[in-house]
Amino acid sequence: MRSTPATHENYLSGEDALQRDMCKLMDIIKLPYYSIPNGGYRLSATSARRMKMTGLKAGVPDIHIPVATEVYHSLYIEVKLPYNKPTKIQKQWHETLRKLGHRVEVVKSMEELFALLSKCYPSYMRKVKFGKI
């Protein structure tokens, strides 16, 4: 008998698990964000075609926070594990978004996210201490 109920959340690993934890933090601090479904996990070829026809673009960062900072229009986050790097097309998107006035960061850990959000959105992070959410 299992001690932990089997849920979809239990099956996430790697970058998906890291992004899930990042989203949980942003939910807790009530920071508006949305994820961009570019991971390639689709149910069928039909679904993939539909997503591409309706605007899905390869290389767009994983998370967008549409809240302006003192300097930037918004923040895009590319989620990577510590040993991974952005692809060529991701780097091209990062450069394009930066030229348009957005901040783009590659974030590889919860500690990095915490530091980034504390710098960009201190009013959301005031009452949160890392490890004590």
CA of residue 71 relative to chain centroid, distance:
20
> Which pTM was predicted?
0.84
Asked if pLDDT for residue 3 goes beyond 50, the answer is: no
Residue 50's pLDDT is what? 84
β-bridge mates for residue 107, sequence order: 79
Tens digits of residue pLDDT in 7-64: 555 566 789 999 999 999 999 999 999 999 876 665 678 877 888 888 888 899 999 9
Tens digits of residue pLDDT in 52-94: 888 888 899 999 999 999 999 999 999 999 999 999 999 999 9
User: Which residue has 């490890």 as its token pair?
Assistant: 131
Rounded to whole angstroms, the Cα distance separating 37 from 29 reads 22
Residue 55's pLDDT is what? 84
Rounded to whole angstroms, the Cα distance separating 12 from 64 reads 21
Give me the CATH code for the 11-125 domain, please: 3.40.1350.10
Residue 114's pLDDT is what? 95
Packed helices 110-120 and 14-28: angle between N→C axes, nearest 10 degrees: 40
Residue 6's pLDDT is what? 46
Q: Determine how many CB atoms are found less than 10 A away from the CB of residue 132.
A: 6
β-bridge mates for residue 132, sequence order: 129
Residue 11's pLDDT is what? 60
Map out the domains of the chain as residue ranges.
Answer: 11-125
Residue 7's pLDDT is what? 52
